[in-house]
């Protein structure tokens, strides 16, 4: 089939938007490219048809194409790694506002690496670490760091082992698993394809925040910053956990939907 025929076929099975995303992600052809090369025959027709079939069967678009986008950069994704969410921009923006470029920063629960890679690319002189436990997610983290030529020190370990990285940090940032365990089965169908290990925050959703508060805040320098992405109902509990470990000037930042999305604070001096 030609590019145009494949596009028409995809549109007959998916939405126009999704069909176009597939053309862009798999053939690197936007609407203009399609107008120019529409009658050509691609080499990788099979990858395209496989991706359409996966999407028709309910697999998230990003897993079907193997690509996702975050703050203007492209990332490899697939089963085993959380699909980047736009919500995470709130945490990254807060982090960038408090950085000058000379900080030692750690991204806990790094997943595909969107946070660590963005910070490393925007602040090439900063020292950035990324910690991820799960094998499949770690493989994507490595691949994305390499793809972007980002200077990120990778740590394949659990954040429950705070000794996996030596020394103190100026900034700790994390988007950890934060969904209450019993809520996971009720989430929409597409989220069910994402790894439970990226979602499951324990019985009350706070296991990882407790770990960060108790184990990692000891490694935050005086005056250092903590930035945590949270679920919309967790601001109070997470703020309380941080306060008990010496964090002051705590603020809660909302996302574009006006929901609490980030808790931000400073380690007392």
Site residues (vs ligand SAM, CB under 6 A): 82, 84, 88, 109-112, 114-115, 131-134, 137, 158-160, 175-177, 197-198
SS (HEC) of 197-222: HHHECCCCCCHHHHHHHHHHHHHEEE
CB 208 within 8 A of CB 159: yes
Cβ-based nearer residue to ligand SAM, 75 or 123: 75
Residue 82 DSSP code: P
Nearest to 46 by CA among 6, 13, 95: 6
Which is nearer to ligand SAM, 20 or 114 (by Cβ)? 114
Cβ distance to ligand SAM smaller for residue 45 or 142: 142
Measure the CA–CA gap between 154 and 106, rounded to whole angstroms. 10
Nearest distance, CB of residue 77 and ligand SAM, angstroms: 9
Task: Tell the smallest beta-carbon distance from residue 54 to ligand SAM (Å).
Answer: 21
Q: Rank residues 82 and 220 by Cβ distance to ligand SAM and give the closer one.
A: 82
Closest approach of Cβ 101 to ligand SAM, in Å? 21
Residue closer to ligand SAM (CB basis): 228 or 247: 228
Rounded to the nearest whole angstrom, what is the least distance from the CB of residue 45 to ligand SAM in the complex? 31
Which token pair is 140? Answer: 């994507």
Phi, psi of 263 (to 5 degrees): -110, 130
Shortest distance, position 81 Cβ to ligand SAM, whole Å: 6
CA distance 176 to 155: 15
Structure tokens at 62: 């990003």
């Amino acid at each position: 089939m030609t590019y145009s025929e494949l596009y028409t076929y995809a549109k007959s099975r998916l939405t126009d938007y999704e069909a176009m995303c597939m053309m862009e992600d798999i053939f690197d052809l936007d609407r203009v490219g399609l107008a120019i090369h529409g009658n050509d025959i691609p080499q990788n027709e099979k990858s395209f048809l496989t991706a359409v079939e996966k999407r028709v069967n309910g697999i998230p678009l990003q897993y079907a194409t193997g690509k996702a986008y975050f703050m203007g950069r492209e990332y490899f994704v697939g089963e085993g790694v959380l699909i980047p969410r736009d919500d995470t921009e709130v945490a990254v923006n807060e982090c960038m506002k408090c950085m000058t470029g000379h900080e030692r920063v750690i991204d806990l629960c790094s997943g595909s690496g969107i946070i660590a890679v963005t910070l490393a690319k925007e602040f090439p002189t900063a020292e950035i670490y990324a910690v991820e436990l799960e094998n499949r997610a770690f493989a994507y983290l490595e691949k994305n760091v390499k793809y972007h030529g980002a200077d990120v020190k990778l740590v394949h370990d659990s954040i429950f082992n705070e000794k996996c990285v030596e020394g103190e940090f100026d900034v700790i940032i994390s988007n950890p698993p934060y969904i209450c365990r019993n809520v996971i089965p009720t989430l929409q169908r597409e989220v069910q394809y994402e790894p439970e290990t990226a979602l499951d925050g324990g019985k009350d959703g706070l296991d990882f925040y407790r770990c960060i508060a108790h184990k990692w805040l000891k490694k935050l320098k005086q005056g250092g910053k903590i930035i945590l992405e949270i679920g919309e109902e967790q601001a109070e509990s997470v703020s309380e956990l941080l306060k008990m470990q010496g964090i002051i000037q705590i603020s809660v930042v909302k996302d574009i939907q006006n929901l609490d999305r980030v808790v931000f604070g400073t380690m007392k001096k």
